[in-house]
Structure 1
Amino acid sequence: MTSPSRMDPQGEPAPWPALTWEEQTWIPSSDRALRPGARTPPTSYRSAVPPFIHDRLPRPSPRVTELAAEAANELSRFDAELGARVSGFAPVLLRSEAASSSQIEDLTASARAIFSAELGIATGQNAELVAANTRALRAALELAESISTASILQMHAVLMASQPRHTPGSWRQEAVWIGTRSDSPQGATFIAPHHSRIRDLMEDLVTFASRGEVPALVSAAVTHAQFETIHPFTDGNGRTGRALVQSMLRHRGVTRNVAVPVSAGLLADVNGYHAALTAYREGDLDPIVVAVAEASLRAVSNARHLVDDIDRIKAAWSSTLTARRDSNAWALLDVIARQPVISAAAAAQEVGVQTPNIYPPLRTLVDAGILKSKREHRIGPFWRSDEVLAAIDAFAERAGRREIT
């Protein structure tokens, strides 16, 4: 694999290269024949040829470089503040990131539906897909020690496990494009590279992502944009690419305890996010770095609001609950704050008791108005905190606004 030098002849970082394009032939499948014995004639189209970037030095403008550094610092500060309380907020923030990333792909579901889907309760396809995205994000963080093609394939395998038609954990072997037609790339706004290029491009990508001299947030933004340009899978590229951002932030030590929901920040301007990806493909780094940096700053503000909301809810619970201090009802308060829809078996495991022994404290919380109970067909009863679920839904609503107050 070869690549242009990262320096120009004067020893300065070279401008970021734009895409080039190559001609391809589109041969419609036989099941799209116009009539028996007749077929749609082959047509030509141009697919992207991304540059190799492993030895290129991204150089955003000074203003954007400063913004990226500020955003990285804010992410680290927020992560450090939650370090002592990570067990209470990491799961909620992880699911908030999964839901926000999915919403960018128009996959929306309420907090109650998402948490219920994780318990196996049928709440709709979207909630199940968001639950799968949560698992993919968890895998991304667990694999953050090494950014590799193997770890990226594993993220995708977890994300798409229930959709075998999209070959979970395997590079695509067919053309993909972004456009209004599903039967042809004609008229598409972007046609990803030919599948024969993916393996080399992905090896190049992870080499770039592993370079420590590139500022962390700049590296994450560029890696994400290059990943989305390669589009290595038939589906799930956006969600996998945003999980990769979380993995890189953990890998570089920007975050150590939580997955700050950066995708929630991107939701404030999805069109701008997509325009930034287009600008990247044309050789302009600034917009995608700005998009990720500003999304990070919005995410921290929004996440602080969510944490404050849950803290207030827990404080109100403490003033409401009159059970003895040695009752497991008190231990359940922390569990419910991070898992606001829960089964008896899950609650018992969290508290460390046998399942029959968890029912009395659950009833105590229901009697105190802290939990509500519902029997689900074929699964049995589960319990939920409408207050925490409302706080998480409010987080999602704020994520769609340009201003967070």
Structure 2
Amino acid sequence: MDKVPWPAVRWEERPWPDRPAAGLARHRRRRHPEPYEAAVVPAITAAQVDLDTALIAEAEEAAVEVARFDTWVSRAFSDHPEPEATELTELGPMSTILLRSESASSSQIENLTAGAHQLALAEIGAATGPEARLVARNVATMRAALALADRLDLASVLALHRTLLADSDPSRAGRWRDEQVWVGGTPYSPHAAEFVPPHHSRVPEAMADLIAFVRRDDLPVLVQAALAHAQLETIHPFTDGNGRTGRALVHAVLRSKGISQRVTVPISAGLLTDTSRYFAALGAYRDGDPAPIVAEMAGATMRAIANGNLLVADLIELRDQWSRRVVARRDAAVHRMPPLLVRHPAVDNPLVARELGISDVAAQSAIDRLVDAGILVQVGSGVRHRVWHCPEVVAALDAFATRAGRASRG
């Protein structure tokens, strides 16, 4: 297949519908019926990726570090098994908490913030704010992205978006947009927008081309993931949720190519360090320069791994402290609780019973022992549906968010 240089976005004039412009200033009313320019996103299936050798080496090094992090974290909890260790002391806890950290960071880029405490409550259905519920949906989206990694196609991208917006916008969840959207400017028209994505009639063809690009096997994986992400952001195939879906796609690509097989490197936490630089890199990509977004993704990956290493170390230390603070016979269910609290910093009795496969009475006994040890604290003063949270895990997660460059609210 003949390859061509990496193409820049082109522009086409489109008529703007003559909609009512009540409430607009006079100069904007005069401009309202004028045509506007929308992007025409070029095909990239066969585009030549011509990057500096040093940048390619940087991206390859980041990919190697992703694989190394994946292996290290997958062993982190099994290196110090609890008494009567089960599969719960293996990969599961760290895989879940890193995925949650990635999802929360990706949401923060879109100015959707929720502290670790609020997010933990939202994940078990306890009462919490609307932003925490939206972030919890992003956690579900990340899980869907990894589950669908072995069959990346148009249907799987739609499935990711359906998971993301199933609660907040069910009528548009999992559907390509059927209207013009734009970034910045005013809500009335795209005339003063910072960027106008392609007309919605062009979305299906552009997304089919993107999927064909993702299936190429001649590119360094992190380079391919970065460019696929930038292309989806440029197409902007949905009315909402494009950023979060696009960042989930990065992880689906890494998983599908075998770079990360067990855990999720919280790359979005690395992007949070300087979101203006990240958005500028997306702008450069649209102008035909793919280098900045590749550099930003590689740098974010390395920053995320460094931050993730600290988070994992904090949680391993917590687990070891808990083993010294809890006194119980070796086969007691309470010894199986630490990895569960890493996965679920907020719990109730049914969750503990279900996850550990024990009775409600045994679950409550395990919870009570952790309360006595100061590891669990009840949320509120309810007596019917009681919920407990683990302040130390919450603190470790909030410290991770702070190190990422933007402290969480709540």
Q: TM-score, normalised by structure 1?
A: 0.92
Deviates more, 1:376-385 or 1:328-337: 376-385
User: What letter corresponds to residue 14 of structure 2 in structure 1?
Assistant: Q
Deviates more, 1:373-382 or 1:142-151: 373-382
CA distance in 2, matches of 1:341, 1:197: 44
Does 2:268 align with 1:263?
yes
User: What letter corresponds to residue 57 of structure 1 in structure 2?
Assistant: Q
Superposed, which structure 2 residues align to 1:6-405 within 5 Å? Answer: 6-7=2-3, 14-30=4-20, 32=22, 42-84=33-75, 85-164=90-169, 167-375=172-380, 380-400=385-405
User: Which stretches in structure 1 are left out of the alignment for 5+ residues?
Assistant: 8-13
Q: Quick one: structure 1 residues 162 and 376, their matched pair in 2 at CA, closer, same or farther if it must change by over 3 Å?
A: farther
Shift of the alpha carbon at 1:60?
Answer: 1.4
Is the CA contact 1:121–1:376 (under 8 Å) kept in the aligned structure 2?
A: no
CA distance in 1, matches of 2:200, 2:360: 51
CA distance in 2, matches of 1:172, 1:378: 46
Match of 1:11 in 2: none
Give a deviation string over 1:95-133, Cα, whole Å, max 9, x none. 000000000001111001001011112211110110000
CA distance in 2, matches of 1:166, 1:23: 29
Shift of the alpha carbon at 1:376?
Answer: 6.8
Q: Quick one: structure 1 residues 86 and 21, their matched pair in 2 at CA, closer, same or farther if it must change by over 3 Å?
A: same
Shift of the alpha carbon at 1:184?
Answer: 1.1
CA distance in 2, matches of 1:311, 1:393: 16
SS of residue paired to 1:178:
coil
User: What letter corresponds to residue 52 of structure 1 in structure 2?
Assistant: A
Pairwise CA RMSD = 1.8
CA distance in 2, matches of 1:173, 1:346: 41
CA distance in 1, matches of 2:320, 2:135: 30
CA distance in 2, matches of 1:349, 1:95: 21
Match of 1:10 in 2: none
Deviates more, 1:268-277 or 1:26-35: 26-35
Shift of the alpha carbon at 1:58?
Answer: 1.3
User: What letter corresponds to residue 371 of structure 1 in structure 2?
Assistant: L
CA distance in 2, matches of 1:307, 1:60: 34
Is the CA contact 1:149–1:202 (under 8 Å) kept in the aligned structure 2?
A: yes
Q: Quick one: structure 1 residues 376 and 264, their matched pair in 2 at CA, closer, same or farther if it must change by over 3 Å?
A: farther
Shift of the alpha carbon at 1:374?
Answer: 2.6
CA distance in 2, matches of 1:271, 1:22: 27
Give a deviation string over 1:249-289, Cα, whole Å, max 9, x none. 10011100011100000001100000000000011111000
Is the CA contact 1:93–1:303 (under 8 Å) kept in the aligned structure 2?
A: yes
Number of aligned positions between the proteins: 388
User: What letter corresponds to residue 172 of structure 2 in structure 1?
Assistant: T
Identical pairs, percent: 45
Match of 2:83 in 1: none
Deviates more, 1:335-344 or 1:170-179: 335-344
Shift of the alpha carbon at 1:166?
Answer: 5.9
User: What letter corresponds to residue 69 of structure 1 in structure 2?
Assistant: E
Is the CA contact 1:263–1:295 (under 8 Å) kept in the aligned structure 2?
A: yes
Shift of the alpha carbon at 1:231?
Answer: 0.1
CA distance in 2, matches of 1:235, 1:281: 20
SS of residue paired to 2:151:
coil
Shift of the alpha carbon at 1:389?
Answer: 0.5
CA distance in 2, matches of 1:100, 1:268: 10
CA distance in 2, matches of 1:318, 1:83: 20
SS of residue paired to 1:92:
helix
Give a deviation string over 1:141-180, Cα, whole Å, max 9, x none. 0000011110000000000001236600000000111113
Shift of the alpha carbon at 1:394?
Answer: 0.4
Q: Quick one: structure 1 residues 107 and 166, their matched pair in 2 at CA, closer, same or farther if it must change by over 3 Å?
A: farther
Deviates more, 1:246-255 or 1:159-168: 159-168
User: What letter corresponds to residue 193 of structure 1 in structure 2?
Assistant: P
Shift of the alpha carbon at 1:197?
Answer: 0.4
Shift of the alpha carbon at 1:88?
Answer: 2.1
CA distance in 2, matches of 1:149, 1:378: 47
Shift of the alpha carbon at 1:33?
Answer: 7.6
Shift of the alpha carbon at 1:323?
Answer: 1.6
Is the CA contact 1:6–1:57 (under 8 Å) kept in the aligned structure 2?
A: no
CA distance in 1, matches of 2:301, 2:384: 39
SS of residue paired to 2:227:
helix
User: What letter corresponds to residue 320 of structure 2 in structure 1?
Assistant: A
User: Which stretches in structure 2 are left out of the alignment for 5+ residues?
Assistant: 76-89
SS of residue paired to 1:177:
coil
Is the CA contact 2:233–2:246 (under 8 Å) kept in the aligned structure 1?
A: yes
CA distance in 1, matches of 2:342, 2:18: 53
CA distance in 2, matches of 1:378, 1:165: 34
